[in-house]
Amino acid sequence: MTDNSNDTNIDDTRFEDALHELEVIVRKIESGEHFLEENLELFERIALTRQCSSKLDAATQRIKKLVDENGIEEMGMD
């Protein structure tokens, strides 16, 4: 079992910070410079993608609701 002490919940992290962390993780894995166990631990952090996607979906829904409530013309959100 891996130590998840460095896990960060997206709710406690800015979206931009989580996205940056994902970019760093991908570069590290692609570099091929890490041992299998290190790559597995890094890959586990990629679960942040689901959290980032959920956060984006929630933000999109909030914007659509505001647009609907305020009669603002939608600006190509799809």
pLDDT for residue 51 is more than 50: yes
pLDDT for residue 42 is more than 90: no
pLDDT for residue 75 is more than 70: no
Residue 1: per-residue pLDDT = 38
From CA 76, how far away is CA 57, in angstroms rounded?
Answer: 15
Whole-model pTM: value is 0.53
pLDDT for residue 14 is more than 90: no
| Crossing angle for the helix pair 15-31 and 36-45, to the nearest 10 degrees | 160
Residue 5: per-residue pLDDT = 40
Residue 11: per-residue pLDDT = 57
